[in-house]
């Protein structure tokens, strides 16, 4: 059978591109080349897409692990920060108590020194008072001797007279202090 006869008879001629022959050959060529296309083009594309999906899955898993690691690190840092705060509070309390103890110690030392200074001053005042009283007594003895010598009209230079006058003044002073 001749193709020209078929074309004249009104049948389908696959070689005639004006009547749909081009579509027929396109489909035939596509179906024949499909296994080669699948093996040569679609295989590598599919493997590349699978590798990309696997890499994305690994990246997501790594990001989740990093997130959990960051959360663990954050909780550790918070724990360390809390411990540092409590340690700082302890150091401050210790420093405050040492400062208060030092302050009490300084106050006690100052009180003791002031008491010692006051006692020394009192001792010096008593000593000076005793010296002044002794000087006054000697002057009273001298005045008494001078007065007595004026009364008796003679000079009392004898040691016994001086001793007697000193004893009288000392007894008078002791009696006066006993009353005071």
What does the chain come to in residues?
180
The pLDDT of 40-57, averaged and rounded, is 89
- The answer to whether the beta carbons of residues 165 and 144 sit under 8 Å apart is yes
pLDDT at 12: 64
Dist CA 171 CA 140 (whole Å): 13
- The answer to whether the beta carbons of residues 135 and 156 sit under 8 Å apart is no
Better pLDDT: 138 or 156: 138
Token digits of residue 102: 């030092």
Q: What is the pLDDT of residues 73-107, one digit of tens each?
A: 999 999 999 999 999 999 999 999 999 999 999 99
Q: Please tell me the least confidently modeled range out of 20-29, 142-151, 152-161.
A: 152-161
pLDDT at 40: 87
pLDDT at 8: 55
Q: Please count the structural domains in the chain.
A: 1
DSSP the chain: --HHHHHHHT---TT-GGGTHHHHHHHHHHHHHHHHHIIIIIHHHHHHHHHHHHHHHHHHHHHHHHHHHHHHHHHHHHHHHHHHHHHHHHHHHHHHHHHHHHHHHHHHHHHHHHHHHHHHHHHHHHHHHHHHHHHHHHHHHHHHHHHHHHHHTS----HHHHHHHHHHHHHHHHHHHHH-
Sorting pLDDT into bands at 50, 70 and 90, what band is 165?
Answer: confident
pLDDT at 37: 84
Residue 43 has pLDDT above 80, yes or no: yes
Sorting pLDDT into bands at 50, 70 and 90, what band is 161?
Answer: confident
Q: Show the domain range for 133.
A: 3-179
Residue 109 has pLDDT above 80, yes or no: yes
Dist CA 140 CA 117 (whole Å): 34
Residue 2 has pLDDT above 60, yes or no: no
Percent of the chain with pLDDT over 90: 47
């Amino acid at each position: 059978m001749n193709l020209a006869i078929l074309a004249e008879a009104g049948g389908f001629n696959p070689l005639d591109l004006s009547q749909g022959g081009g579509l027929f050959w396109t489909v035939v060529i596509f179906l024949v080349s499909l296994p080669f296309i699948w093996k040569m083009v679609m295989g590598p594309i599919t493997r590349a897409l699978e590798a990309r999906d696997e890499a994305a899955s690994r990246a997501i898993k790594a990001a989740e692990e990093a997130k959990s690691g960051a959360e663990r690190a954050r909780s550790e840092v918070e724990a360390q920060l809390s411990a540092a705060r409590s340690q700082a509070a302890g150091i401050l309390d210790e420093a405050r108590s040492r400062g208060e103890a030092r302050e009490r110690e300084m106050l006690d030392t100052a009180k003791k020194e002031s008491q010692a200074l006051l006692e020394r001053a009192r001792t010096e005042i008593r000593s000076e008072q005793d010296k002044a009283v002794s000087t006054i007594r000697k002057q009273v003895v001298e005045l008494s001797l001078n007065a007595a010598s004026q009364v008796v009209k003679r000079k009392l230079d004898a040691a016994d007279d001086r001793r007697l006058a000193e004893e009288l003044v000392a007894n008078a002073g002791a009696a006066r202090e006993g009353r005071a």
